[in-house]
Structure 1
Amino acid sequence: MRTRNVFMPDPDTPNTANPIHSTEGARSRGFRGALVGGATVYGWAVDAIVESLGEAWLDHGWADVRFRRPVYPTDTLDISISSSGVLDIAANDTCCVEGSVGLGDAPWQDELQDSDEPVPQPAPAPLPPLTPQSVPVGQSLRARRFAVSLAESEAFCRDKQNEASPLFFGPHARLHPAWIASQPIFLLHHSFAYGPAIHTASRIAHMARSRSDQFVTVTGRCIDAFERKGHQYIVNDATLLDSANAPFARIRHTAIYQLKET
Structure 2
Amino acid sequence: LDKLESETNATWIRVMAPLELLYDSYERVTGTFELLAAVNQTLEMDAAAGQGKELLNGFGRRLQQSTALYALLLRLRQPWTTWVRHSFSQLRALDYWLAKMRKAGVHLASCPAQMADFNRLSDEEANLKRQYAGNVAQGTAAFHMTLRNGAHLQGVPRSTLAAMAAAAQERNLTYGRGWTWAITPASTVPPRDGAPPTPEWGPWTVTFDPWVYNSMMAYCPDRRIRQILYQSYENRASQAPLDNVPVVERML
What is the TM-score when the length of structure 1 is the normalising length? 0.19
Higher helix share: 2
| Structure index of larger Rg | 2
Tell me: higher relative CO, structure 1 or 2? Use CA pairs within 8 A at least 6 residues apart: 1
TM-score, normalised by the number of residues in structure 2: 0.20
**Which has the larger strand fraction?**
1
